Amino acid sequence: MIKSFLITLSFSTLLFSSQQILLVVADDFSSPKAKLSCFEGEKKVCSDIEVNLGKNGLGWGIGIKTIAHAEDEPLKYEGDKKAPAGVFALTESFGYAPTTQTKLPYLYADNKLICVDDSKSPFYNQIIEAHGDEKSFEHMRRGDGQYEIGIVVAHNPHAVAKRGSCIFIHIQKSTDHPTVGCTSMSKRDLQKIIKWLDKEKNPILIQIPKKYIKEVEKLYPEIKQ
């Protein structure tokens, strides 16, 4: 039997109720670098953290809330090497150890755990236990250690074809090495965030170019600095 983890949560428990926020702000849509801040309630709980984004910057993704934006701005698609911009639930943590210190649901990344990136597959944008006939996927247990610990970002939760899949927050390859669509940072910083995040506090990722910070502050006034 396939063990499947949908990259989604009930929208009714997420909209307007987030208590923990990861705010990632890039200079513009083409920037592969950004700064991350953490908020709980109206309190900023961590110093700014340098993070890496997609090699080709940002594109508007599909999340739990739409930020009003210009129609001619880039969208996130499968394989475009852009990280998704928008507001997204943070649904699970994952890693190579059988257990870890976290208040998020935890996925043990053994050698059979994969994330399907074939948009024609019925398991598109799902983390599943491999059953042998998947055409395109990525292993959740990698040889380079970038997925030793990580967080699942619920981008494209209804698996709209070709709009992007398998988006995570994970360990960076190096300080200035962009990703193929995820958000990466140092292992030390990521460990602290995973330990802090709590499913009961409805954690979200807000990821935007800085021109949209005022729009986000209208939606989430608790992040005003």
| pLDDT above 50 for 12 | no
| pLDDT above 70 for 75 | yes
pLDDT digits (tens, 9 = 90+) for 198-207: 999 999 999 9
Over residues 46-66, the mean pLDDT reads: 96
Residues 6+ apart with CB under 8 A from 27: 33, 34, 209, 210
pLDDT of residue 8: 37
CATH topology of domain 4-223: L,D-transpeptidase catalytic domain-like (2.40.440)
Pairing mode, strands 83-95 and 106-108: parallel
Residue 138's SS3 state is strand
pLDDT of residue 15: 41
Over residues 125-129, the mean pLDDT reads: 96
| pLDDT above 70 for 17 | no
| pLDDT above 70 for 46 | yes
| pLDDT above 90 for 116 | yes
pLDDT digits (tens, 9 = 90+) for 135-158: 899 999 998 999 999 999 999 999
pLDDT of residue 18: 59
Between the alpha carbon of residue 176 and those of residues 50, 96, 141, the distances in Å are 9, 24, 23
> Whose CA is closest to 224, among 17, 25, 43, 26?
43
pTM of the entire predicted model:
0.91
Q: DSSP state, 117?
A: -
| pLDDT above 90 for 72 | yes
Between the alpha carbon of residue 54 and those of residues 80, 82, 99, 172, 211, the distances in Å are 9, 5, 29, 12, 18
Domain parsing of the chain, residue ranges: 4-223
What is the spatial distance between Cα 113 and Cα 75, in angstroms, rounded to a whole number? 28
Residue 7's pLDDT band, with cuts at 50, 70 and 90, is very low
What's the mean pLDDT when you consider all of the chain? 91
Following CA atoms 176, 118, 120, 155 in sequence, which dihedral angle do they give, to the nearest 10 degrees? -40
> Mean pLDDT lowest for which of 7-16, 89-98, 131-140?
7-16
Over residues 78-97, the mean pLDDT reads: 98
